[in-house]
Structure 1
């Protein structure tokens, strides 16, 4: 990202009148506060030991939305995502105020997906009913594990019983539910993960997000890993865990539609599909990222905001937004971003759109080589996707096609 004087970053940006209606338009709202920082987490989340001034942060979210609304006129919002942090720490009245502002600034589609992330430890039936009344129609629960020992290892504040109760409350309150699990945990075997995943599927509604544990820079797990105090599975075991995950979910009617996300047909996360399909979205809140379409259809304005919540709020109060970095993404760079995101999807990408964005076709020799090795495949409608074997080396495939 290119840094510049904060007050100048959005000056002179010419709004695009069209956007990406075929891929949708999303509003991401970041609530950066958590009760505790998980040792594996590298998200922009912060612990505060005093009560958060929710009125102040809600007003700042609305103000930043108003600024972004001027850069995205005439859009129809197809998805709203309240992420974090822990958005389930927000009062229902705060959620209501923010969602009301979205509807005032843009047009919201009648069937828009409105997701709120929640931790099982912060789930209360009355609070969930308040979110539902505010307009939330989908909840994503950070369950992460289905046994107490691993929940403690992951630094979670809930136990298995609370996770089950939270799932039951969510299923009774919202039309749609997803929850996350982390696998490839220290000491985990294929047999143990199989039993855990099958138990989770019995509790699930129609969507699961299943992530392999990775050691992220700057996290407590990185320090423990370097000290030899935790170990992740070797590549062969990690591959076996991935294969088991695909087979078990597919057999249960929740096949992978993205490398880490599984859903019944029609229950895919519409918000995340906007990202993966290289659509347009605004990122609102401390540390949020956005991709705003620029005139001509081939360029994006990448935005990112101040990461520290209080500093972000001060910036917004001073000038209507907390954006601290922008970058124009166009031509080859836009094509590469589309490739990086789209090949994560089982539906793959449209090569014609890739060429239109990037201004260049794929190299036929590279396509032929990847096809001959069974790493990619063309679908009957002409779309290009990574094969099941290709998902194991997806980064290498993306790098090869982008070269």
Structure 2
């Protein structure tokens, strides 16, 4: 299965690690810095691109994703340099998707034209809430007015604009979420990422929760009701769930994220970036140094990677199962068997079909609405755990 990655495509992930402020719920690899040498970072990214490209020649690049951190703090010239270098290293798909994550503060909004000129064709905005009280509670530095202005600017410059919302927030009722989600859907958006607030260990919210200071969070039943309501409203609006937390109109799905979920190859560059790369017929899991300065120092010595682990056939099959069942299209049993050198147990398939957790069509398995609510159990059963 040396060419298995072709089933999912090939993408490039570029991690920009800096933010203006650290949000209290965030456990991503992000850092606050008073000064950033844009030229130094540009040189480092281009060096890493050179290295990765020598290992992945003769490929078609389907997507580029600038994530973070806050990539909208990146100089548009740096963005342009990365895109131009990628186009020199690989053949570019005719419909390549180039996404940049952006915070909707008024300062970043002025950069949107620069990103468009650099080649970005999709913006993903971290709005997170549609009222100022909850924006402050979430530690966001923008106001609702700034978010709306930035969204309108992005819509005027880009054909494709997505934004994120967090729900199951403190003191949020089911009716509150219904109004907010309806308002979001009325903003002429074609893609929404809708996440339940998760309290992660090691974050400011996690520490506050442990001290009993994070009050008003919904209980499990209310959280489940909010999730069900989300599916109902989005489905009725023509934006069904195509992944656990992502909703889109037909044709507006995130092509880059589909590479992950379809278990394609993706090169990850930048501090803390992960990748899956097939080199010499073998697939590897890669990880870069997390701390920005450590990554820069490592790149100057030849590679920003801190780890590269060879994935066995079973490893790949399990990852394919884990990622592929998150999306509505599901997985291909024949592909799983080719990776694992063994089939998914038929008894497990039939049991889950009878329980209404999965459906089958030819060689494909996909998860039902009921199954999505118990996805981890479904995956474990199919994996034989």
So what's the TM-score if we normalise by structure 1?
A: 0.92
The residue that corresponds to 2:243 in the other structure is 258
Given that 2:7 and 2:262 are in contact with CA atoms closer than 8 Å, whether structure 1 keeps it comes out as no
Local SS of the residue matching 1:344: coil
Given that 1:99 and 1:134 are in contact with CA atoms closer than 8 Å, whether structure 2 keeps it comes out as yes
The residue that corresponds to 1:210 in the other structure is 194
1:4-153 map, 5 Å: 18=3, 20-49=5-34, 51-121=35-105, 123-153=107-137
Which residue of 284, 287, 309 maps to 1:304? 287
Give CA-to-partner distance per residue, 1:39-66, whole Å, 9 cap, x none: 00000000002x2001101110111111
CA gap of 1:169–1:195, structure 2 versus 1, over 3 A, is same
- Matched residue count: 383
The residue that corresponds to 1:10 in the other structure is none
CA–CA distance in structure 2, aligned partners of residues 212 and 126 of structure 1: 30
The residue that corresponds to 2:342 in the other structure is 360
CA gap of 1:171–1:150, structure 2 versus 1, over 3 A, is same
The residue that corresponds to 2:367 in the other structure is 386
Deviation at 1:209, TM superposition (A): 0.4
CA–CA distance in structure 1, aligned partners of residues 222 and 341 of structure 2: 41
The residue that corresponds to 1:178 in the other structure is 162
CA–CA distance in structure 1, aligned partners of residues 243 and 374 of structure 2: 14
Deviation at 1:125, TM superposition (A): 4.7
Query: Is 1:314 the counterpart of 2:303 in the alignment?
Result: no
Give CA-to-partner distance per residue, 1:295-342, whole Å, 9 cap, x none: 45xx520000000011101110111x2101111112211111000000
The residue that corresponds to 2:227 in the other structure is 242
Deviation at 1:200, TM superposition (A): 0.6
Deviation at 1:20, TM superposition (A): 2.6
Local SS of the residue matching 1:21: helix
Deviation at 1:124, TM superposition (A): 4.5
CA–CA distance in structure 2, aligned partners of residues 122 and 324 of structure 1: 36
Given that 1:305 and 1:323 are in contact with CA atoms closer than 8 Å, whether structure 2 keeps it comes out as yes
Deviates more, 1:91-100 or 1:139-148: 91-100
Deviation at 1:383, TM superposition (A): 1.3
Deviation at 1:360, TM superposition (A): 1.0
CA gap of 1:182–1:235, structure 2 versus 1, over 3 A, is same
CA–CA distance in structure 2, aligned partners of residues 205 and 198 of structure 1: 11
CA–CA distance in structure 2, aligned partners of residues 97 and 226 of structure 1: 44
CA–CA distance in structure 2, aligned partners of residues 317 and 122 of structure 1: 35
The residue that corresponds to 1:369 in the other structure is 351
Given that 1:19 and 1:75 are in contact with CA atoms closer than 8 Å, whether structure 2 keeps it comes out as no
CA–CA distance in structure 1, aligned partners of residues 374 and 170 of structure 2: 22
The residue that corresponds to 1:12 in the other structure is none
Deviation at 1:23, TM superposition (A): 1.6
Local SS of the residue matching 2:250: coil
CA gap of 1:204–1:218, structure 2 versus 1, over 3 A, is farther
Given that 1:81 and 1:115 are in contact with CA atoms closer than 8 Å, whether structure 2 keeps it comes out as yes
The residue that corresponds to 1:397 in the other structure is 378
Give CA-to-partner distance per residue, 1:355-393, whole Å, 9 cap, x none: 1111111112211221121111113x4310111011111
CA–CA distance in structure 2, aligned partners of residues 327 and 192 of structure 1: 46
The residue that corresponds to 1:9 in the other structure is none
RMSD: 1.4
CA gap of 1:123–1:25, structure 2 versus 1, over 3 A, is farther
CA–CA distance in structure 2, aligned partners of residues 276 and 171 of structure 1: 27
CA gap of 1:378–1:63, structure 2 versus 1, over 3 A, is same
Structure 1's unaligned 5+ residue stretches are: 1-15
